[in-house]
Structure 1
Amino acid sequence: MRQPDIEIYLREDHVPAVLDWLGTQGQLQLPAGKRQGNLMLNGECIPVQIIPKAAGKWTSIWLDSPDTPWATDAECAQAVFAATGHEVRCSVGTWQETDGEADADRWLKVNANGAEEFSWPSP
């Protein structure tokens, strides 16, 4: 099932590599020093937001559109890892507050060991 948006997390020092990679996927319009912009991709304007330290030392990159090439956060995370070699984290699936707290800390990390589910408690 296609997610309504894509959100991945990576270490702050890996953000430039991911932004470079996004620029190869489409035309990334992110003014220097800014944390909001757009990715023009297949005729679609996809809002992009970068949130430093969204989860401790991890930065969030949020693509606010269902019109990305990736149906899920996990697909995007796997593509980012394949292109950059940097660990990427994402939710295991769509989660909303109405789903309760039981699954809120379930995450997926994609790295050289493959894709693995883990618990990532909120601070």
Structure 2
Amino acid sequence: MRQPDIEIYVKDSDRSTVSLWLATALNMPVCTWLEKGRVSRCQYGDIPAVWFEHAVGKWHSLLLESENTPWATDLECAQAAAAYLQVQVRCATGSWQEADGEEDADRWLQVNADTSLETITWYTANK
């Protein structure tokens, strides 16, 4: 099932490098980011992109606010990003809702630079 948007967390990379990957993956020119504090926005055709610098510690958030991406799920995008960028990339295990409980909120998928996949516990909020 295709997700309505895509969000991944990228470690040890920067917005410029991620922009080159996105331009290649989306077959578009590199966009110009508009910065406001730690959050930057740009538009790849009909796909709005949001980059949140150090969203969780050393991890940067990339949000693609569209279902019109080459990836149906966060995991597909994370795998593509890790393979291209050669860094660790994390994403949610799937759609999460409050009714799912807090324990599931801390369960994440991590794609390593070698594209191996593991399920991890990642506390992204203060307890």
Q: Percent identity?
A: 46
SS at match of 2:79: helix
Contact 1:14/1:86 (8 A) holds in 2: no
Q: Which region of structure 1 is more displaced relative to structure 2, 73-82 or 21-30? A: 21-30
Aligned to 1:48: 49
TM-score w.r.t. the length of structure 1 is 0.86
Q: Which region of structure 1 is more displaced relative to structure 2, 55-64 or 88-97? A: 88-97
Aligned pairs for 1:1-123 (under 5 A) are 1-11=1-11, 13-24=13-24, 25-27=26-28, 28-31=30-33, 33=35, 35-40=40-45, 45-111=46-112, 112=114, 114-122=116-124, 123=126
RMSD of equivalent CA atoms: 1.8
Contact 2:9/2:90 (8 A) holds in 1: yes
Cα separation, 2, equivalents of 1:17 and 1:95: 29
Number of equivalences = 119
Gaps of 5+ in 1: none
Gaps of 5+ in 2: none
